Amino acid sequence: MKIAVTTSTFAKETPEPLEMLRAAGFEVVLNPHGRKLTRDETVALLGEVEAVVAGTEALDRAVLEKLPQLKLIARVGTGMENVDLACAAERGIRVGNTPDGPTWAVAELALAGLLALLRRVPQADAALRRGEWAKPMGRLLHGRRVGVIGLGRIGKAWVRLLRPFEVNLLAVDPQRDPAFAREVHLEYGTLAEVLPRCDIVSMHLSGAPNAPMIGRAEIEMMKHGALLMNLARGGWVDEAALAEALRSGQLGGAYLDVFEQEPYAGPLRDVPNVVLTPHIGSYAVECRIQMELDAARQVIDFFSHGGRPSGEQPT
């Protein structure tokens, strides 16, 4: 049986996922372009396959309607914005993703970004490279009050990383987990209750937003000089309002790994008290390997069950 792999970096860190698929009897067609595919290229590559190990290329209605034989999309990653789930369901195409791999990778990046922001590591590095022996004064994470918006897999891992710093933890999530809250000494609240109390607010929500959760009104609720972090999805934060708040001093700093438009070319690039990274939350070797192995297992499991695996479509 022929399947395709569209993600351009598949099996680059280890050949194991590719070997696993071939050992299971699949003929694997790889992305020949070494980059994200266009719609036409996606249709051409998937024209004769029954399953795809997918990246971030568009798998919308315009593409899926040209692939009548496609039965399975196994997305390497968590985000499903590039897949038309309604169209896939209509056409009987099973869709899966790999949410476990990025959990610790994103949580660790959040910690790295926050510590860099607090201790002004980018500024110190840049000054030293300019030949300046400058020593910017930073702040501690220890003992601060941190608000976590979104307490799913990544949010919980993030909280566990924070605990040795003896921070005070608050959280906003409609699905409350009282046992976890007791374990980590965390207090739940509404957004309006949490924002004014926190020194640091970090966003770890799942899914794509229809509108920003943190806009001008919410920023005005936050403590003067507070820090804001977004490692969820671009669009949860009004980036123009954030840039204004950073320039005015209403907020003391920010760290973003995700943006409404990517690649990012907006005004935050010119704001000094912000750390920006190009959506690298899952870019850790161990994370990449686990996601690829999980996607390969989905393909094998799907066809070993006659194309009728158990489980629910992602939402």
Domains and CATH numbers, the chain: 2-101+284-304 (3.40.50.720), 103-276 (3.40.50.720)
Q: Where are the alpha helices (DSSP H) in 67-197?
A: 85-90, 102-118, 121-129, 153-162, 178-184, 191-194
pLDDT in tens, 139-194: 999 999 999 999 999 999 999 999 999 999 999 999 999 999 999 999 999 999 99
pLDDT in tens, 265-310: 999 999 999 999 999 999 999 999 999 999 999 999 999 987 654 3
Active-site annotation holder among 262, 269, 286, 305: 262
Active-site annotation holder among 233, 239, 288, 292: 233
**Known catalytic residue: 279?**
yes
Tell me the two tokens of residue 289: 């390997």
Residue type, 219: I
Distance, in Å, from the CA atom of 186 to the CA atom of 164, rounded to the nearest integer, reads 14
pLDDT in tens, 222-262: 999 999 999 999 999 999 999 999 999 999 999 999 999 99
Active-site annotation holder among 75, 120, 279, 288: 279
Question: What pLDDT score does 305 carry?
Answer: 82
**Known catalytic residue: 91?**
no
Q: Is the CB of residue 292 less than 8 Å from the CB of residue 76?
A: yes
Tell me the two tokens of residue 180: 């976890």
**Known catalytic residue: 233?**
yes
pLDDT in tens, 27-70: 999 999 999 999 999 999 999 999 999 999 999 999 999 999 99
Distance, in Å, from the CA atom of 89 to the CA atom of 315, rounded to the nearest integer, reads 11
Distance, in Å, from the CA atom of 310 to the CA atom of 249, rounded to the nearest integer, reads 52
